[in-house]
Structure 1
Amino acid sequence: MTRQGTIPFFAPDLFEDDRDVLLDLVRATGTVPGQKFILGERTAAFEDALAETLGAAHVVACSSGTSALTLVLTAMGVGPGDEVIVPAYGCAPLGNTVVEVGATPVFADVDPLTTVVDPACVEAAVTSRTKALMPAHMFSVMADMPAMREIAGRHGLRLVEDSAVAQGGVLDGRPAGTWGEAGVFSFVQVKTFGTAGEGGAVVTDDPELARAVRALRNHGQEGQRFVHQRIGRNSRFDELLAAFQLHRLPGLPGRLERRARIAEHYTERFTPLAEHGITPPPPGRNGRCHYVYSLLADERDALQAHLAAHGVDSHVYYPQPLPHQPAFARFAPEGRTWPHALAASRRQLALPVHPRLTDAEVEHIADTVCAFAAR
C-alpha cells in the first residue's frame, strides 16, 4: 500500500522495474546517428512486432488512441452528411472523433449488464445516412463483435473497432483490434499495454487503409518528404516510446495473466452479492479484457465511500452518458432516451486490478466490498 496505507487505483510505480532500461533508452535514442526521434527504425520494428502478435497485416503507430480513431475515420472517407453509430456510454473520443471529421454521432444504448453497446440498439439506429459503426470495448468486456460484423455487412457499413482499453482481449479465438476493418489501441500509461507517455496504433488487414493512415499521420506525406498528396495531421510516434514498448512487449502476456487472475478472484467473490445490489461482470475469459475491473452497484457512492474509509481507491467512469454531456447535446434528439447508459453512469464503480497488486491487497479489496454488502 502507499499514501498512508491506501491501495492506489493505478500503480504509481508501474515502470519501476524498467527504470534503468528507460533511462538507457533515452540516451541511446538521443545519441543514435541521425538523431531521428520520430517515425524511425524503432517505430517500424514496434509496428512489425505488434502486427505479429495479433496476426494482423498492418499496424500503424500514431500519437494516441483518439488520434487513431480520427485517422481511421478520415481514411474511410467519413465526413459531412454521414452518421456514425457509437455507444451512448463511454469515453468522449467516441463522439469527439466523429464530430471532428464533420460527421454526426448517433448514440445507441448499451447492454444493462456488460455496458457494451447493444446490437439491437445499433440495428435500430441505422439510417440511410449511416456510414460506419464504431463499437467500443468497455472496462472488462469486449463488445459483441460477431453481431457488429453481421450488422455492418448486411447494411454495407464500415466497421471501426475501438479496442483502446482491450489489448490482450480475445473473443472466440480472435484478438481485440482485429474484428473490424480497422481497430485501434491506446498506449497511454494506464492501459493494459500503457507506456511512459502517450501513443496509439491502428490495426488493419486492408493495405489501402493502412497506406492512407500512414500518410495522414505525417501531414499527408506519402513516400517523399515535403510532398503532400492529401491534407494530413501530426500524429507521429516517438522513437523512444517505440523502443520502450518493444522492451515491454514480451512481458505483456504475464501482466495480462495477473490482471485476469485478479479479476477472476473478484468475480468469484462478488457473484453472490447480486441480491445485495452489487453486480460483477460476467465470469470467464472469452471476450474479456481487464483494463479496469468494473462493478455495478445500486449504492455506488456509499460503496465508494466505504472503500475509501478502508484504504482502497476506486474510480467512477463516465458519470454522464455521452448524449447527456453538454458537448454532445446537439446530437441528442429531443425525446430520445438511453436508459441503460444512464443506469450504468449511476451504478458503475471500478476497482484496482493492476498487476502490481499483492495477493494481500487483492484480498483486502474483495473483503471490503463483501463487508459492505453484508451490512
Structure 2
Amino acid sequence: MIPFLDLKAQYASIKGDIDAAVMRVLASAEYVLGEEVAQLEREFAEYCGTRHAVAVNTGTSALHLALLALGAGPGDEVITVPFTFVATVSAICYTGAQPVFVDVEPVTLTMDATKLEAAITSRTKAIMPVHLYGQMADMNAIKAIADRHGVPIIEDACQAHGAEYEGRRAGSIGVSGCFSFYPGKNLGACGEGGIVVTSNDSHARTIRMLRDWGQERRYHHVLKGFNYRMDGIQGAILRVKLRHLNTWTLARRAFAARYSALLAGSNHVRAPFEAADRHHVYHIYAIRCRDRECLQRALAVQGIQFGLHYPIPVHLQKAHADLGYAPGDFPISEAAAGSVLSLPIYPEMTTAQVEEVASAVEQEQEQEQEREREREREREQEAHVL
C-alpha cells in the first residue's frame, strides 16, 4: 500500500529531536504558551519575513483573530473564494461578517483577480485570498485592487508554509497571514496549532490579547477574548520541524516534478500548474481528471490512497445555504470540485512510489481510452443501422 501521507515515517526520521523537545517542556512545566512558543514565534516570523508571529491553537483561530484585529463584525463583508476548506468561510462567519465569494482562476484555482473588483462594496472589510494546495494567489493583481479601494488583505496561507510570490514568503504581503499546523500540513504539529504573522505592531498586540482571554496582563481583561493559546509541547515540536521545512519542501517539489513529467501529454488527467512568478510547496498534488470515479476505483484496487480537496465548494455546502448562492454561480470552482483528485505526496516518499502511482494513473488512462473507442464503435454501429 502507498499511503496518502505517512506521519509515522516523518516522526521516525526526527524522533530523537522530537522526544528531547517534548521532555524539555515536561521538565519545565510550561505547558501553555511559555518560552518554547515564544521562540517559535520569533523563528517563524523570521522565516516568513515579518516582524511578528502570534501562535494560537488552530489555523481557524488564526483567521478568526486576524479578522477581529481588523475590526470585522456584523454589517461587514469579507471577500474570499468558494473553492477552499470550509474553515476559511467559518472564520469569517465567527466575526458576524458576511462572506462574499469570487470565483477562482481555471489554471491555478486561486482567486481570480479579474473578478475581484466587482465584488467590492462600501461594506468590504477585508479580502482573503487562499493560497491553495501550496501555491500563492496572484498577489500583485489582488493587492493593486485592494490598495486602490483601501481594503486590507489577510492571506489564508494555511496550506502554503514557505510558498513564495516573486521572492516574498506567504504571509508577508497582506496586513497579516494565517497558517495552520494541523498534522498533515507541510509544517505540522503533533496535534493542533496555528499562527498569525504580521508586521503591524497594533494588530500583533491585539491578537496576542485576543488569544488569551483579552488580557493585557494577568487578570487585566481589555478585550472580550478567547482561549486560543498554543500548548508548549506543540511549540517545541514545531521548532524542531521548522528546521527541516526547507529540506522537506525540496523533496515535495522534486516528487511533484517527477509526477508532472510522467503525466505530461495525457488527454485524461492534467497535472497542477505552477505559475512562473511563484514557488509552489505542493502541500497537495491535485490532478484534474476526466473520469475521477474510475480513477478512484483503479487506485483503490492497487492499494494507493488518494484525497479529494475539495469535492463540494463552500457555496454549495448545506451549512452555508443561508448565503444565498446556487449551482452555476461559480462555474470554475464547481468544475474543479468535480474533477480534482489528490495523489500521495510527502517528503518521506520514494521516487519508486511516485512512479508506481503515476503508472497506475497511466494504466487507467489507457483503459479509459479503450472505453472511449468502444463507445465510438457503438455509436458508428447505431448510425449505420439508422
| Same fold, TM-score > 0.5, yes or no | yes
Q: 2:270 aligns with which of 262, 279, 282?
A: 279
1:9 paired to 2:20: no
Match of 1:216 in 2: 210
TM-fit CA distance, 1:333? 4.0
- Cα deviations by residue, 1:178-197 (Å, 9 ceiling, x for unpaired): 11100011111100001211
State the alpha-carbon separation in 2 of the partners of residues 308 and 65 from structure 1: 31
Task: Tell me which amino acid in the other structure corresponds to 1:41.
Answer: E
- Cα deviations by residue, 1:133-163 (Å, 9 ceiling, x for unpaired): 0010111422111111111101111210000
Structure with the greater alpha carbon radius of gyration: 2
TM-fit CA distance, 1:25? 3.1
The answer to which of 82-91 and 324-333 deviates more is 324-333
State the alpha-carbon separation in 2 of the partners of residues 189 and 218 from structure 1: 23
Alignment of 1:30-109 (within 5 A): 30-32=26-28, 35-109=29-103
Task: Tell me which amino acid in the other structure corresponds to 2:47.
Answer: T
Task: Tell me which amino acid in the other structure corresponds to 2:4.
Answer: F
The answer to which of 156-165 and 12-21 deviates more is 12-21
- Contact 1:163 1:177 (C-alpha < 8 Å) held by counterparts: yes
- Contact 1:133 1:152 (C-alpha < 8 Å) held by counterparts: yes
State the alpha-carbon separation in 2 of the partners of residues 260 and 287 from structure 1: 9
Match of 1:18 in 2: 14
Match of 1:299 in 2: 291
Q: Aligned residues, how many?
A: 365
Match of 2:150 in 1: 156
TM-fit CA distance, 1:129? 1.3
Q: TM-score, normalised by structure 1?
A: 0.94
State the alpha-carbon separation in 1 of the partners of residues 279 and 350 from structure 2: 25
Alignment of 1:334-353 (within 5 A): 337-353=329-345
SS in 2 for 1:349: strand
1:369 paired to 2:364: no
TM-fit CA distance, 1:299? 0.6
Ranges in structure 2 where 5+ consecutive residues have no aligned partner: 368-386
Match of 2:350 in 1: 358
TM-fit CA distance, 1:280? 1.1
Residues 1:334 and 1:308: Cα distance change in structure 2 (over 3 Å): closer
SS in 2 for 1:105: strand
- Contact 2:211 2:226 (C-alpha < 8 Å) held by counterparts: yes
Alignment of 1:191-206 (within 5 A): 191-206=185-200
State the alpha-carbon separation in 2 of the partners of residues 77 and 245 from structure 1: 30
The answer to which of 154-163 and 244-253 deviates more is 244-253
TM-fit CA distance, 1:300? 1.0
State the alpha-carbon separation in 2 of the partners of residues 277 and 110 from structure 1: 22
State the alpha-carbon separation in 2 of the partners of residues 138 and 335 from structure 1: 22
- Contact 1:84 1:133 (C-alpha < 8 Å) held by counterparts: yes
- Contact 1:141 1:281 (C-alpha < 8 Å) held by counterparts: no
State the alpha-carbon separation in 1 of the partners of residues 7 and 347 from structure 2: 12
Q: TM-score, normalised by structure 2?
A: 0.91
Q: 2:104 aligns with which of 107, 110, 114?
A: 110
TM-fit CA distance, 1:229? 0.4
TM-fit CA distance, 1:287? 3.7
Task: Tell me which amino acid in the other structure corresponds to 2:313.
Answer: P
TM-fit CA distance, 1:61? 0.7
SS in 2 for 1:95: helix
TM-fit CA distance, 1:283? 4.3
1:321 paired to 2:292: no
Match of 1:139 in 2: 133
State the alpha-carbon separation in 2 of the partners of residues 58 and 206 from structure 1: 8
State the alpha-carbon separation in 2 of the partners of residues 200 and 166 from structure 1: 13
State the alpha-carbon separation in 2 of the partners of residues 140 and 272 from structure 1: 23
- Contact 2:18 2:240 (C-alpha < 8 Å) held by counterparts: no
State the alpha-carbon separation in 1 of the partners of residues 269 and 38 from structure 2: 45
Q: 1:245 aligns with which of 235, 238, 257?
A: 238
Match of 1:331 in 2: 323
State the alpha-carbon separation in 2 of the partners of residues 126 and 336 from structure 1: 21
Match of 1:3 in 2: none
State the alpha-carbon separation in 1 of the partners of residues 325 and 75 from structure 2: 16
TM-fit CA distance, 1:281? 1.2
- Cα deviations by residue, 1:25-78 (Å, 9 ceiling, x for unpaired): 33321222xx22111111111111111122211111111110000000011100
- Contact 2:134 2:161 (C-alpha < 8 Å) held by counterparts: no
What is the aligned-residue RMSD (CA, Å)? 1.5
State the alpha-carbon separation in 1 of the partners of residues 324 and 280 from structure 2: 30
1:264 paired to 2:264: no
- Contact 1:140 1:281 (C-alpha < 8 Å) held by counterparts: no
- Contact 1:165 1:191 (C-alpha < 8 Å) held by counterparts: yes
The answer to which of 141-150 and 158-167 deviates more is 141-150
State the alpha-carbon separation in 2 of the partners of residues 23 and 54 from structure 1: 26
TM-fit CA distance, 1:284? 6.4
TM-fit CA distance, 1:251? 1.3
The answer to which of 280-289 and 150-159 deviates more is 280-289
- Cα deviations by residue, 1:63-100 (Å, 9 ceiling, x for unpaired): 11100000000111000000001101111111101111
- Contact 1:140 1:294 (C-alpha < 8 Å) held by counterparts: no
